[in-house]
Amino acid sequence: MNLAFLGFAMIIVFMALIMAKKLSPFTSLILVPVTFGLLAGYGWDTLGYAMDGIKSVASTFAMMTFAILYFGVMLTAGMFDPMVDHVVAWCKGDPLKVLVGTAILAAFVSLDGDGTTTVMICCTAMIPIYNRLKIKKIYLATLIILQNCIMNLIPWGGPTARVMSVMKLDAGEILAPLVPGMVLSAIYVVGVSYYLGLKERKRLGVAKAAASEAHKVEVSPEEQEWKRPKLIFFNLALTAAVIVSLIMGLASSAILFGVGTAIALVVNYPDQKIQRKVISSLAPDMINVVMMVLGAGVLMGILNGPEDAGMSNAIAQFLVSVIPESLGRYFAVIIAVISAPGTYLLNNDAFYYGVLPPLAATAEAYGFTSLQIGFAALMGQAFHFLSPLVPFIYLLMDQTEITLAQYQGYIFRWCVGIFVIFMVMGLALGYLPVL
């Protein structure tokens, strides 16, 4: 049976089972790829490919584990309490200001290029406000994802780095054509936040008492004892140091968050009994998320399969084969369009290292430059974070208490706007030329 067909079918079945609520995301991430791996004729090697996939997400697994622990400790210690109180006071119970503030915060936090960090910081800071004002948390998820998919295009964000390595481009070359689209898209997201804010203001009104009640957070007596108001400035400095180190690339994110967590625990909770209680209180959220990450690894591993002979490679060859030669002069635009479903159906490594090289070779034969091809290949990132193959979206869904179906169904419409902005800017500035 055709491997490309099986690859597409696996993704479709996986999504259908989740959206129909026949299987949980975790069980679907395990059972569906294993079944299709057996159908592909992998036999017992299916489990080996699954293990390869788990190994490929090991760094993400470690980073998420420590990131959840770190920001959980910061939340428990009360580092975000003054921020929340001041934001609520500034908003004066106005959902419009809260949503616009969310969009701006998400844009700046996303500059570190890491989705997990963005989710943890924004959710930890903003969810208490959303809960107090009863704002729909699907809007929080929407604004985080929209800003993150834009800012993820910075050279240290991941997809751009992969394009740079494949197309032999330096950071300055690829960043210059991306910046206009990134700026306009970020403004567009602020506009989306304003629109959603108006809807929530109409639905909820302006809560007059929200500011005065900002300090009234429902916590248990034990949780109140865990607050460390005198250590807020230390915790802020430690968090800033971790984020700056991430941006500068001084060490892997897993190590930075791991060291940060250890320091935070020792300084805030020197008593080991309290340390254990704090960690135990954070464990349920951590387990739910890391299970999904491991499940996504299984799906990616089996999708990739044997080197140069798996479903991912077959999908790549299929995409190249279906493009008629007569459309050669539009090849940059074609790559941009292909990148949307390509980065959704495949992880970034599979698309940029598997699909892009044959597409690039074909495009160069038609006269397109490496920069034009690289720029086109990044257009699909507007939709990439809708993919179930992105590990940190499960953290976001857990934090905002929404399902995958809700997540994809609502956010997709706003992602289209970002895609259109980048495409229009590329065509206008000549980075998506028609030869």
CA distances from 377 to 182, 262, 307, 336, 348 (A): 15, 40, 23, 5, 11
Residue 434, in any domain of the structure: no
> Residue 79: left if φ>0, alpha if ψ -120 to 50, beta else—which one?
alpha
Range in 52-61, 135-144, 171-180, 401-410 the model is least confident about:
52-61
Residues 319 and 188 in one domain: no
Domain that residue 155 falls in: 59-286
Q: What pLDDT is stored for residue 280 in this prediction?
A: 85
**pLDDT of 114 higher than 70:** no
Highest mean pLDDT among 292-306, 323-337, 396-410: 396-410
Burial of 103 (0-12, 13-18, 19+ CB in 10 A): buried
Residue 52, in any domain of the structure: no
**pLDDT of 384 higher than 70:** yes
**What band does 213 get if pLDDT is binned at 50, 70 and 90?**
very low
Which tokens is 130 given?
């959303």
* Structure-token match 């004729």, residue found: 41
Between helix 159-167 and helix 356-365 the angle, nearest 10°, is 50
**What band does 196 get if pLDDT is binned at 50, 70 and 90?**
very high
The pLDDT tens digits for 321-359 are: 777 767 778 888 989 998 998 888 777 766 776 677 777
Residues 39 and 65 in one domain: no
CA-CA distance, 275 to 293, in Å (whole number)?
26
Residues 299 and 222 in one domain: no
Range in 21-30, 198-207, 309-318 the model is least confident about:
309-318
Residues 27 and 9 in one domain: yes
> What is the DSSP track for 242-270?
HHHHHHHTSS-HHHHHHHHHHHHHHHH--
Last residue of a domain, one of 286, 315, 341: 286
Q: What pLDDT is stored for residue 404 in this prediction?
A: 83
Q: What pLDDT is stored for residue 319 in this prediction?
A: 66
Higher pLDDT, 237 or 13: 237
